[in-house]
Amino acid sequence: MKVLFLTKYSALGASSRLRTFQYLPFYREAGIECIVEPFFNDSYLERLYNGKGIHLLVFSFYLKRLLVLLSILKYDKIYIEKEIFPYLPPFAEWILFLLKKKYIVDYDDAIFHNYDRNKNVIVRIFLKNKIDSVMKYAEVVIAGNAYLAQRATDAGAKHTEIIPTVVDLKRYTVRSEKKEDVFVIGWIGTKSTFEKHLLSIKDWLIKAQQLLNVELHVIGITKTEVFLGDHVKLIPWTENTEVAHLSKFDVGIMPLRDSPWERGKCAYKIIQYFAVGIPVIASDVGMNAEVCINGETGFLANTEEGFLGALKFLITHEDTRKEMGMKGRKVVEKTFNVEATSKILTNIILN
């Protein structure tokens, strides 16, 4: 079987790396010939992450994807991340449907809210139902969580499977005992999620450093003009070093605003923290509440009082903290790992 994977990003983009690229060895082992064509390339992502201009590059990406689509007849199936052409009507997916060319579409974010809740009224009018149409035409919709799956069902999708975003446990080992005495709270993410989510609790983080004598590690951010406290380390992200840096955390945090977009998040940060055997403090929003078992593998906290109280408990109860972290690791070993989900995805593609 020959399958064309239309990813949104190259492997440098987290969603594409985790939803497609990490599965390719499993697909190939099952006899699937995989051809991957990203929409955005490494150069685009590097400029995006560094805050540089990207608008002049975009037209070339649309043209390249159009040329790729001219060869779709030679593939047995098409695997699409999110949509074929961002911010255009779903004409390409509709053509695949008319040609009876089966396609699978994958969602790890509520990108339908890019359209139905867009600030631009023209986008809302003409594209609010775009992703519903893409889902409806698909042979299978892969959804990262129940919120996304419900949207697919409401759109009339023929077949929906919930498959979370997961880690490769071969890369993640349980953290060893630290030599340093300082207690570290940590976060990992990109510039956009840093600005949207972590900065929303910056006052809590500053107070935590002042009152509880902790250090904050932020992976994925190398500079910021926003004051986050006197004991902060900004750490550049690389795929080769992220696990080593995560292993220096004593607790991982995943704050989110309670909004429709956040309800579509797949709690991947929590899964990463669990994979190295540390507990979490996370907002009680969307899938966070499904993955983090409050009081068992960490704490759900939506207020400053709840956040600081959970943090103080974890600092002062070392044995319980370690036990929570190991319970989280077991959750990942059972459910949120690529060995488990690759079998399901391979069967979906082959059938």
The CATH architecture that domain 2-166+337-350 belongs to is: 3-Layer(aba) Sandwich (3.40)
Q: Kindly tell me if the per-residue pLDDT of 51 is higher than 70.
A: no
In order of 90, 113, 127, 229, 256, the CA distances from 116 in angstroms are 14, 5, 7, 38, 21
Q: Which two tokens stand for residue 337?
A: 């790992």
Q: Which fold has domain 183-334?
A: Rossmann fold (3.40.50)
Average pLDDT, the chain: 95
User: Could you read off the pLDDT of 305-327 as tens digits, one per residue?
Assistant: 999 999 999 999 999 999 999 99
**DSSP sequence for 29-80:** HTT-EEEE--SS-HHHHHHHHTT---HHHHHHHHHHHHHHHTTGGG-SEEEE
Q: Kindly tell me if the per-residue pLDDT of 148 is higher than 90.
A: yes
User: Could you read off the pLDDT of 97-133 as tens digits, one per residue?
Assistant: 999 999 999 999 999 999 999 999 999 999 999 999 9
Q: Which helix (H) or strand (E) holds 253?
A: strand 251-254
Q: For residue 22, what is the DSSP state?
A: G
The mean pLDDT value for 334-343 works out to: 96
318 burial via Cβ count (<10 Å: 0-12, 13-18, 19+): exposed
In order of 101, 119, 124, 185, 261, the CA distances from 197 in angstroms are 40, 20, 25, 15, 12
Q: Which two tokens stand for residue 230?
A: 């006197």
Q: Domain residue spans in the chain?
A: 2-166+337-350, 183-334
Q: Which residue in this structure is represented by tokens 């035409």?
A: 137
Residue 50's pLDDT is: 66
This prediction's pTM: 0.93
The mean pLDDT value for 23-44 works out to: 94
**Who contacts 111 (Cβ-Cβ below 8 Å, separation ≥6)?**
82, 83, 131
Q: Which two tokens stand for residue 71?
A: 């060869």
Residue 55's pLDDT is: 64
Cα separation, 79 vs 5, whole angstroms: 5
β-pair type (214-219, 160-162): unpaired
User: Could you read off the pLDDT of 67-98 as tens digits, one per residue?
Assistant: 999 999 999 999 999 999 999 999 999 999 99
Q: Which residue in this structure is represented by tokens 């060869």?
A: 71
Cα separation, 72 vs 193, whole angstroms: 35
Q: What residues form DSSP beta bridges with 194?
A: none
- Whether the domain at 2-166+337-350 and the domain at 183-334 fall into the same CATH topology: yes
User: Could you read off the pLDDT of 189-228 as tens digits, one per residue?
Assistant: 998 899 999 999 999 999 999 999 899 999 999 999 999 9
